[in-house]
């Protein structure tokens, strides 16, 4: 049994105003939620990704230990000897599959070479996520093929598939950023008993199933994947944004509750009031006030919560929510 009462270690994270000074913090990575996206680079000594998601805030990943930054091909990264942050962009193209596979291959090659083979949390921001690619295949499905091929290739050399987000943007291109750890990181990847594991979705949702777990528990932190109104493998409450918000919140509550943690050998248990650094993705801007009103009832008034107006990975999903619990 993993004890969820251990002191916080590993990677710290915060939402803060864009441009907040790094100060004397050890920063592993900075993701700026902005109107336009930029190729990831080292800026002010920090791996920085500017993503076209709107929002007007930055997500900063920090360490208690000194960090070393680097650039490897098109990847930028920082490491502290225990944990690593890495980011890449894939430029807009007709078909993503091969380039996504190569980007993931390069990332897995980097993290294994540097000694961080445990993948802990991944974010995939996919421009035009529910549009068709040049072959008429939905871009999310195209993306999932390349990612699944890379995970297949690296099975046994990198850790198991972790929590993730796969979400639309307000621009083109695909942005990846992720957290990884040394072999002793021992992440526990969680599933939701009411949802089919995404990596077992039937092929009606695409040629290759999405590669992600519903949550990952590591370093006393529970990373909750992008979660939506899906029961089993099916979207429920079609066309009903409040209904979808309700199902999504219930899915997260079940995922992070004591019963499900216990099932995965993690002690403790959480409620929606424990969730922090919450991102609420809403497909239609006009729905944001309604979704926000419901979320404010569910989350702590002290939680950082942002609302982003982007597409979700299925055309019938109106809302998706992710967050962390420490």
To which residue do tokens 């967050």 refer? 323
Residue 198 CB, nearest approach to ligand 3HB (Å) = 7
HEC readout, 33-80: EECCCEEEEEECCEEEEEEECCCCEEEEEEECCCCEEEEECCEEEEEC
Residue 137 CB, nearest approach to ligand 3HB (Å) = 15
Length reported for the chain? 326
Rule CB under 6 A: say whether 169 interacts with ligand 3HB: no
Which of the ranges 29-37, 40-48, 184-192, 223-231 carries the binding residues for ligand 3HB, by CB under 6 A?
223-231
Rounded Cα gap, residues 186 and 315, in angstroms: 35
Rule CB under 6 A: say whether 15 interacts with ligand 3HB: no
Count interface residues toward ligand 3HB (CB under 6 A).
11
Residue 191 among the catalytic residues:
no
Read off φ and ψ for residue 255, nearest 5 degrees.
-65, -40
- For ligand 3HB, the closer CB: 34 or 124: 124
- For ligand 3HB, the closer CB: 132 or 262: 132
Closest-CA residue to 212 (of 194, 181, 191, 230):
191
Query: What DSSP character marks residue 82?
Result: S
- Output the furthest CA–CA distance in the chain (Å, rounded): 50
Which of the ranges 89-97, 130-138, 149-157, 164-172 carries the binding residues for ligand 3HB, by CB under 6 A?
164-172
Residue 274 CB, nearest approach to ligand 3HB (Å) = 20
Residue 90 CB, nearest approach to ligand 3HB (Å) = 14
- For ligand 3HB, the closer CB: 162 or 268: 162
- Which residues participate in catalysis according to the annotation? 320
């Amino acid at each position: 049994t993993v004890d969820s009462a251990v002191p916080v270690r590993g990677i710290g994270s915060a939402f803060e105003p864009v441009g907040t000074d790094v100060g004397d913090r050890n920063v592993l990575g900075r993701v700026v939620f902005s109107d336009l996206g930029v190729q990831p680079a080292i800026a002010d000594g920090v791996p920085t990704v500017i993503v076209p998601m709107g929002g007007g805030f930055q997500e900063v990943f920090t360490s208690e230990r000194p960090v070393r930054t680097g650039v490897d091909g098109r990847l930028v990264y920082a490491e502290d000897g225990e944990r690593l942050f890495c980011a890449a962009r894939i430029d807009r193209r007709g078909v993503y599959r091969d380039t996504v596979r190569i980007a993931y291959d390069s990332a897995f090659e980097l993290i294994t070479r540097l000694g961080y083979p445990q993948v802990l949390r991944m974010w995939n921001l996919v421009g035009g996520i529910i549009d068709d690619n040049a072959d008429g295949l939905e871009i999310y499905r195209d993306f999932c093929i390349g990612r699944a091929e890379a995970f297949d290739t690296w099975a046994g050399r990198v850790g198991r598939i972790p929590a993730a987000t796969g979400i639309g943007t307000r621009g083109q291109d695909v942005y990846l950023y992720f957290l990884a750890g040394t072999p002793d990181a021992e992440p526990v990847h969680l599933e939701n008993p009411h949802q089919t594991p995404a990596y077992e979705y039937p092929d009606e949702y695409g040629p290759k199933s999405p590669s992600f777990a519903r949550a990952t528990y590591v370093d006393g932190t529970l990373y909750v994947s992008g979660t939506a109104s899906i029961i089993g493998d099916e979207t429920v409450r079609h066309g009903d944004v409040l209904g979808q918000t309700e199902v999504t919140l219930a899915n997260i509550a079940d995922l992070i509750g004591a019963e499900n943690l216990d099932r995965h050998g993690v002690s403790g248990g959480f409620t929606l009031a424990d969730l922090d650094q919450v991102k609420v993705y809403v497909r239609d801007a006009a729905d944001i006030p309604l979704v926000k009103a419901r979320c404010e009832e569910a989350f702590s008034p002290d939680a950082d919560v942002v609302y982003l107006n982007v597409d979700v990975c299925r055309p019938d999903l109106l809302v998706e929510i992710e967050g962390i619990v420490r």
